[in-house]
Structure 1
Amino acid sequence: MTAGPLSDRERIAWLRLSRTENVGPVTFEQLVTRFGSASAALAALPDLARRGGRIDPLTIPTQAQAEDEFAAGHKLGARLLAACEPEFPRHLAALDPPPPLIWALGQVNLLNRPSIAIVGARIASAAGQRFARGLAVDLGKAGHVVVSGLARGIDGAAHEGALSSGTIAVLGGGIDDIYPPEHADLHARIAAEGCIVSESRPGQRAQAKDFPRRNRIISGLSLGVVVVEAELKSGSLITARLAAEQGREVFAVPGSPLDPRAKGTNDLIRQGAALCEGVDDILRALEGVRSLEESEPPPYAAHPRDQAALDRAADRLRDRVEAMLSPTEVSRDELIRAVGEPAPVVLAALVELVLAGRAAISAEGMVSRR
């Protein structure tokens, strides 16, 4: 398929495929690329899983379940955006691979404006919250949308500072998952004046496994990520790492060595993050940074192949591919080099192993033995 608006039928197929057991962003992209559409990939799933060695049926959402999710989102006033569509955020679409679908509630046009993420400690100091709020105000005046995660502390302060100029809240649960409860009014204001984004289905409550995906979207939407306060094992540092891996700018606000909340940010600076004492540091660092605003979203272009020949080649390689995997993650490129066979064949065998539950692919494209 090529980039462009999806029909209602194909949008439901994208939703079903993206919610299928063991299908993450990488597997989704491989399946749509191989079969040309989500509908064709859905039809092929049972056989692919069986070929990979699966015995019990793969859990695939029914048409009715997908339609129920679609209706629930629309009842909230949200839109379901696919990564092949023009309105999908271009910076997010540039990830390898992007999330196939996101729910967006509010001012969807904000998703394609230049954005900076501000993240930090939940138990933040009063000074840290004041800095985040003021930085968000200044970024808004400079024409940037502020992205954060609607958590307590730094996130909430950043959203408050950017409400009048534009802010995006990325949630781990569904777009209607208000957490913490005291942010109910802030959630409502962002839904009305800003935009709320989630990869999860409406009504879903956030679990620990959802936050790495949320953090990947926060950094993926942004030209850069500013960490205001963070302890050494903070989730904000995961967002900073993802931003660096995505080629985004990473900024850290320095703090007192006597405050544990400054250890993470000071360590980021030690590792090469740009020091941030105010909006001018960010604007200087972004001078000359190529914006993706005119980039096209990924086309998920089909590569027509002889499916029978690809199946035979995958049968021949499947055991070798599995033997190359270990609990230690490696990139897809490393796996392909190790197997020493054409990438489409190695990836076809890998997808079968993933669907069978014998291998795993992270959202960042790292592969391992399950």
Structure 2
Amino acid sequence: MIETIDFHIPELDAMKRYPKEIFYIGATELLTRPKISIVGSRKPNQYARQVTYEIASKLSQAGVCIVSGGAIGVDAICHKAAGANNTIMVAGTGLDKRYPAINKNIIEDMEKEGLVLSQFQAGVASYKYNFPLRNELVVALGDILIVTYADINSGTMRSVQDALRMKKEIYVLPHRVGESDGTNKLLNKGLAKAIYDVDEFVAKFGDIKQGNIIKDNFLEYCKTNPTYDEAIAKFAAKVFEYELNGKITIKNAKIQII
């Protein structure tokens, strides 16, 4: 059931204008947790996909709630990695829409176990001008902003402008020349910090005591980009389980993390 937030969310005072209404489905208790916003391209490269998943998963396991925008690409990876019960999605439509349709199952899980927010009433479609407002709310909710992949003239970089205006720390992944030019430019200008060691980074923001974070041996193996036949030989049951759960995909006869 769609309900309306009836209390003040102090993090949103950083927005240009505090939202007139905020609608929600799910557990508003997540708003009281330490929160980190993660955003990025709808088409990140494989390296960004893998490291985004690792960062979101480990932050979640360390007690940090992950905030993102529910889009395909980096957003969906974050929500999946964090787990439905420890993620906040900010929608760019009315909450009756479950947009984009390809993420319908993920969104339904977040409605049941996590939290979905929107500034738009039921019935409002995915108008282009909704998304800058959605992005600003995503950035405002997080204690910091992580951008894992972004081209220079992308909507993600407009989120970066929101973060700079709000004086939030920005973290990015180091990329090769010609890839993720937007985040590379931020590093070059000294406007962002690079994440070189995921565990070291997570330890700054969550409880990462010895043994608190459990490594997923199969996903660690998938980072080596094995062939389908190799993976089946070593982890037959896991391959089928993780493919069904949408954690991996098979492309060109190789395993890739989603």
Give the TM-score taking structure 2 as reference length: 0.74
CA deviation profile, 1:81-129 (whole Å, cap 9, x unmatched)? 24xx2xx332124545321220011111112211101111101222211
Select the residue among 117, 123, 141 that pairs with 1:221. 141
Residue 95 and residue 182 in structure 1: after superposition, are their counterparts in 2 closer, same or farther (change >3 A)? closer
- Matched residue, 1:122: 42
User: 1: CA distance between counterparts of 2:85 and 2:164?
Assistant: 26
CA deviation profile, 1:157-186 (whole Å, cap 9, x unmatched)? 000001155001111111122222111100
Select the residue among 185, 188, 194 that pairs with 1:275. 194
Residue 238 and residue 170 in structure 1: after superposition, are their counterparts in 2 closer, same or farther (change >3 A)? same
Mapping of 1:65-214 within 5 angstroms? 77-82=1-6, 85=7, 88-95=8-15, 97-163=17-83, 166-214=86-134
Mapping of 1:323-362 within 5 angstroms? none
User: 2: CA distance between counterparts of 1:282 and 1:90?
Assistant: 24
Residue 279 and residue 202 in structure 1: after superposition, are their counterparts in 2 closer, same or farther (change >3 A)? farther
User: 1: CA distance between counterparts of 2:85 and 2:156?
Assistant: 24
User: 1: CA distance between counterparts of 2:83 and 2:92?
Assistant: 20
The letter for the 2-side match of 1:274 is K
Select the residue among 227, 230, 233 that pairs with 2:153. 233
CA deviation profile, 1:269-291 (whole Å, cap 9, x unmatched)? 1222111232533653x69xxxx
> 2:149 touches 2:173 (CA, 8 Å); kept in 1?
yes
User: 2: CA distance between counterparts of 1:176 and 1:230?
Assistant: 29
Gaps of 5+ in 2: 207-258
The letter for the 2-side match of 1:223 is D
Residue 94 and residue 173 in structure 1: after superposition, are their counterparts in 2 closer, same or farther (change >3 A)? same
Residue 246 and residue 193 in structure 1: after superposition, are their counterparts in 2 closer, same or farther (change >3 A)? same
User: 2: CA distance between counterparts of 1:158 and 1:104?
Assistant: 19
CA deviation profile, 1:277-322 (whole Å, cap 9, x unmatched)? 32533653x69xxxxxxxxxxxxxxxxxxxxxxxxxxxxxxxxxxx
Residue 96 and residue 238 in structure 1: after superposition, are their counterparts in 2 closer, same or farther (change >3 A)? closer
> Rg: which structure is higher?
1
> 1:139 touches 1:279 (CA, 8 Å); kept in 2?
no
> 1:141 touches 1:165 (CA, 8 Å); kept in 2?
no
Q: How many positions carry a matched residue from both structures?
A: 204
The letter for the 1-side match of 2:59 is L
> Which of 139-148 and 126-135 deviates more?
126-135
1:264 aligns with 2:188: no
User: 2: CA distance between counterparts of 1:140 and 1:204?
Assistant: 31
Superposed CA RMSD in Å reads 1.8
The letter for the 2-side match of 1:81 is I
Give the TM-score taking structure 1 as reference length: 0.52
- SS of the residue corresponding to residue 124 of structure 1 reads coil
The letter for the 1-side match of 2:156 is S
Deviating 4+ runs (over 6 angstroms): none
* Structure 1 residue 246, shift from structure 2 partner: 1.1
- Matched residue, 2:248: none
* Structure 1 residue 220, shift from structure 2 partner: 0.7
Which has more helix, going by share of residues? 1
